[in-house]
Amino acid sequence: MVKRLFDTFHLDPPKILVLGFALIIFLGAFLLTLPAATVDGLGLSWLNALFTATSATCVTGLVVVDTGSTFTLFGQLVILSLIQVGGLGFMTFSTFFAFLVGKRISLRERLLLQESLNQVSMEGVVRLARRIMLFTIAIESAGGLLLGWRFSFDMPAGRAFYYGFFHSISNFNNAGFDLMGDFASLTYYVEDPLVNLVVCTLIILGGIGFIVMSELYEYRHTKRLSLHAKVVLATTAFLLAFGTVLIFLMEYTNPKTLQPLSLVGKVLASLYQSVTPRTAGSNTLSIGDLQQTTLLLIIFLMFIGASPGSTGGGIKTTTFATLLGAVFSQIRGKEDVIFFRQRILPSMIYKSLTVTVSGLFVVMLVTMLLTVTERGIDFLMILFEATSAFATTGLSMGLTPHLSPIGKIIIMLTMFAGRLGPLTIAFALAQRKQKEYFRYPKGKIMIG
């Protein structure tokens, strides 16, 4: 039905992605307003339901009500479904179900897949979509079983494995929703090695992107990785190590975070808080109790976010690496940006610059608007919230439940733009690109 509607209006792939996500959000919001969705039997108000559905579909994790204590099993399963569809993309699901019923994938559907998976060509997109589903089932199942086994020591087995699979799906999709209650996230397991390492692995795998996972899976046969995979893995490793060391040093003497923990607990907590800005949103330390320098570091890491073709947001690791490479090339007086003995095209540098500046503009605009709507709130708290929404991270210093109605709408729009990407929305709203028949003469201006 939805496909026929899109075909009737001859919508191009970016517009279909934008409208498709919007329809899923409104459907989820409607389900969350039903009496069966909440423990009190009243359902959520439309605004809170729309906020929760947007946060789940955009795999953000910002919540205005506590997920564990507010929603019934039905409401929690609605949220979990929105997370799964939002994380993988509705076109990936459509393709998977088409496989199950033996339906042929049309050219138009392949174009949509190419757009939703951020691929440069249609070659292999159907095979990639099928592999994405298989990877997802395998990784989420493994994570769910391990977490369920660990939680079974603290709660009945049935509830433990349900919690295990919920948190596995939520963290692999970089959503950050949790069922622990009282907005606590995973702070009860701050020193637990199994929970920390399993969840960190889920977040990292969800954040590096399915293209990279596919290449790693094939590496045993091909013995080679593409430039994209090398840049993603190198940048991710650098950011994780960089973040872990700095958080460990800056929070070591903080009596509200690392100081009371054992040495192993300090390392695990530092690693987790470095991993979660990959746009996961769960946390094992109270975010509001972190030092201001640590909060600024997390804002920086959230803005970078995950990698292309992943379940995460942000400007992406490859964008950051490309801009950093361009800066170092300019400083060294080099004309080309070289990664692993390969030259980056100038068009990629321009695109990286466009994505970064667009992201900065969105974060600054949202921050300015929230300083007007949320008067009396600390500026750093507002900047943190705006960056978290744009990067679809879901970390919060505690502002989300106290947002004004206008503030909730602003954050909803920011999460939506952050999930689809400012460029996708801009292309969806823009006219077709027109061919230029002439070029202006070169000009020079002073820089710096």
Residue with tokens 């500026």: 379
The whole-number pLDDT of residue 431 equals 47
Residue 443 lies in a domain: no
Residue 311 lies in a domain: yes
Residue 421 lies in a domain: yes
Pair of tokens at residue 116? 């939703």
Residue 273 lies in a domain: yes
Asked if 262 contacts 237 with a C-beta cutoff of 8 angstroms, the reply is no
The whole-number pLDDT of residue 427 equals 53
What would the mean pLDDT of 376-392 be, rounded to a whole number?
93
**∠ at Cα 176 (236, 404), nearest 5°?**
120
Tell me the per-residue pLDDT of 193-248, one tens digit each, with 9 for 90 and over: 999 999 999 999 988 888 888 888 888 888 888 888 899 999 999 999 999 999 99
Task: Determine the distance from the C-alpha atom of residue 336 to the mean position of all C-alpha atoms in its chain, rounded to a whole number.
Answer: 31
Q: Count how many Cα atoms sit within 13 Å of the Cα of residue 372 in the half-sphere of its side chain.
A: 7
pTM: 0.87
Show the domain range for 183: 2-429
Residue 337 lies in a domain: yes
The whole-number pLDDT of residue 22 equals 86
Residue 446 lies in a domain: no
- Tally the domains of the chain: 1
Residue 436 lies in a domain: no
